Structure 1
Amino acid sequence: MSKHPSKQPPLVSRRKALVLAGAAGLALAARPRLSAAAQPKIRIGLATRTWWPSVIAETAVARGLFEKAGVAADLTIYRSGGEAVEALAAGATDMITGLVSQMATGRTRGVAAKIVALGVDRNTGWKLLLPADSPIKDVAELAGKKVGITAAGSLTDFMALWTRARYKIDFSSVPVGGGGLVPNLLARNIDAAVVYSPLSFEMLQAGQARELVDYATAIPTNLTVGWATTDKLIAEQKDLVRNTLEALYGSVDYMRGNRSQAIDIIARVNSIEQPIATQEYEETFLKLSTDGVFTMEQVKVALDLARVGGFTNLAPAEDIVTTDFIPVTAAA
């Protein structure tokens, strides 16, 4: 069992994928058959339950893709991306979905980690939402108001910072956790919230919210979210990193190639209705990277956006990513 920061326990207990490797013909051809005890272990930290990385990782477990890749996967779901980064820095997890801004600020503070593969190049499904009956009609009217985010250092925090800078207004960012965004918005404890999919789709389809900003179109494409790991793993366990990515992108490949099954999985994992899961599939899962490939230009655009959002003391692009593991070959 891996340890977690004592003050920030995960919301969901980790689940283990410690199973015997299948017959050699069903595994990747060059890999030897390993017992569960012999499989190298990877601890994957997920920012929140209701977001695509959690669905991808859990589907990889359910379909035995980590097993086929010769990896024992241990998943932990945290309360925010910021908490997942803290876990990575503390050595409590090995791989997370990270942001360029997180890696760049972390590197200057001694967090030795890099992005190794692109997850998605746009903020699909991320929206600035208001209660449906809110009198606010324009972003400028948020000046002096309270905007909900999951936690400091998270992607929702970045969106809020970017919004303040882009629209030249000031408001208070209120951390409420991933599970607190919707209830606090509906209870009017906050005036607006940065909400990710499928929660954003669910609120809009239910008529509970109105969209003020669609970050998928407002923010230029860039290295928006990537899979990140530590310098130590990159240097000492390249095969473990590579095989883990193969399992994760094998899951992406399965979801994109099996529409009805994927929608069922999204609905079940996120406890949402089929129409919401369908929108999530079409607007998020069909736009995920299939091979992890990114360019340095995408990294630099993400750094520029971080500066617009008010981030300072950022490490250069070359220090926060590595292209050693791309393109990723998806596990079948």
Structure 2
Amino acid sequence: MRFFERERGPAVKTRRRILMAGVAAVLALTASACGGDGSDSGGGDGGPGTIKVGVGTRQTFEFLPAEYGVDLGVWKKRGLNVENVYVQGGGQVSQAMAAGQVQVGLTTGSSGADAILSGVPSKVVGLIGKDFKMMQVVVAKDSPITDVKGLKGKTVGVSAAGSLTDYLAKMIAVSQGWSERDVKRANTGGLNEQLAALESGSIDAFVWSAEAGFALEEQGKGRVLMDFGDVVKDSVFENIIATNDAVKKREASVRAYLEGWYETVNYMKAHRAETVAYMVKKFEVSETVAGKTYDHDIGNLSGDGSIPEANLKGLAASLVAQGVVDDEPATDEFWDGRFVPVAKAG
């Protein structure tokens, strides 16, 4: 990981200091206001009750079970009432967990682990998807770049310094054995800003999710060059986290949530047509885009929540690579495997 040690600059360190300060402030305010971490949504020893779930991104395939499961009734039949709380990004999920506003969170592997190591009292309790094929590189429709080798010396747009997209852009150079300077990274912002920069020629490509890539292809605004399935291996893309208080005091609720989540995932795997139709309705995309996204991503969704040891260690190593921590943490600092594997149910 020597390659990345030079990458730890003020932006990443400042981002983490801000997160740690924000978490400390939230925890202090919460403790002062209610004498605990706020996870008092019923349940306890009396049954599942109600659980609130922080969702970092609304329109993304890998988080689709959050809403689909509610509509399928997988949690209702277990006596669990699920309330989804939609926020912008993993950082806000972590803040909501620290404040006791949610007891479960859906977020990227690095974002969740970063928050845990920064002081949010929680643990990863289940896997959503381990492979990074859900993330893609998009180029202009008429771009002369035809494969990953064509990115050498080019400028790739990322959302922000220290973000997941920034990390993935770095990994392009790593996978090809290039110098870090061989792939220039531009902090461009959101999808609309990425498109504008691509059209103006200020960037040659950008990193984004599969749904967006396929939609841009259909609209004639871009072309998917590659995904990161073969670039980042043995890691964790996205996962489910739960507060320590929920794990300790509301184990039945956490277990019921995970059972319902993976029941939904396995339903999706067995019912392509119904899932594609649901995506068309919820994401407001065409059936073609929904079908491409389903076929591309469905195999990456975990059916039981287990995380192989190699992937846990890969996630720990990636935290060093992204400048989150200086030393690789032990996996039990962010992972609690007591709930998995979750038996298939339906």
| Cα distance in 2 for residues equivalent to 1:182 and 1:89 | 34
SS in 2 for 1:216: coil
How big is each residue's C-alpha offset from its partner over 1:168-197, in whole Å with a ceiling of 9 and x where there is no partner? 335444263467555664566754321112
In the alignment, structure 2 segments of 5+ residues that lack a partner are 1-22, 24-44
* Superposition deviation, residue 320 in structure 1: 0.6
Which residue is 2:340 aligned to? 326
Pair 329,54 (structure 1): closer, same or farther in 2 beyond 3 Å: same
Report matched runs for 1:14-29 at 5 Å.
none
Q: Say whether the 8 Å CA contact 2:172–2:231 is kept in structure 1.
A: no
Select 1:217's aligned residue among 221, 224, 230: 230
Select 1:169's aligned residue among 180, 198, 223: 180
Q: Which moved more, 1:271-280 or 1:45-54?
A: 45-54
Aligned Cα RMSD in Å?
2.9
Which residue is 1:10 aligned to? none
Which residue is 1:16 aligned to? none
Pair 168,237 (structure 1): closer, same or farther in 2 beyond 3 Å: farther
Report matched runs for 1:268-283 at 5 Å.
268-283=281-296
* Superposition deviation, residue 220 in structure 1: 1.1
TM-score by length of 1: 0.77
- Asked if 1:228 corresponds to 2:238, the answer is no
| Cα distance in 2 for residues equivalent to 1:303 and 1:271 | 36
| Cα distance in 2 for residues equivalent to 1:161 and 1:246 | 36
| Cα distance in 2 for residues equivalent to 1:56 and 1:206 | 27
Q: Which moved more, 1:254-263 or 1:202-211?
A: 202-211
Select 2:152's aligned residue among 125, 140, 144: 140
| Cα distance in 1 for residues equivalent to 2:106 and 2:173 | 24
| Cα distance in 2 for residues equivalent to 1:62 and 1:124 | 27
Which residue is 1:24 aligned to? none
| Cα distance in 2 for residues equivalent to 1:154 and 1:43 | 26
| Cα distance in 2 for residues equivalent to 1:48 and 1:291 | 22
- Asked if 1:62 corresponds to 2:76, the answer is no
* Superposition deviation, residue 215 in structure 1: 0.5
Which residue is 1:156 aligned to? 165
In the alignment, structure 1 segments of 5+ residues that lack a partner are 6-30
Which residue is 1:315 aligned to? 329
| Cα distance in 2 for residues equivalent to 1:90 and 1:187 | 42
Pair 96,153 (structure 1): closer, same or farther in 2 beyond 3 Å: farther
Select 2:93's aligned residue among 74, 84, 105: 84
Select 1:42's aligned residue among 36, 39, 51: 51
* Superposition deviation, residue 81 in structure 1: 2.7
- Asked if 1:106 corresponds to 2:118, the answer is no
| Cα distance in 2 for residues equivalent to 1:329 and 1:229 | 19
Q: Say whether the 8 Å CA contact 2:156–2:169 is kept in structure 1.
A: no
Pair 66,210 (structure 1): closer, same or farther in 2 beyond 3 Å: same
Q: Which amino acid aligns with 1:225?
A: E
How big is each residue's C-alpha offset from its partner over 1:225-265, in whole Å with a ceiling of 9 and x where there is no partner? 21111122111111111101111111111111111111111
| Cα distance in 2 for residues equivalent to 1:196 and 1:91 | 29
Which residue is 1:75 aligned to? 84
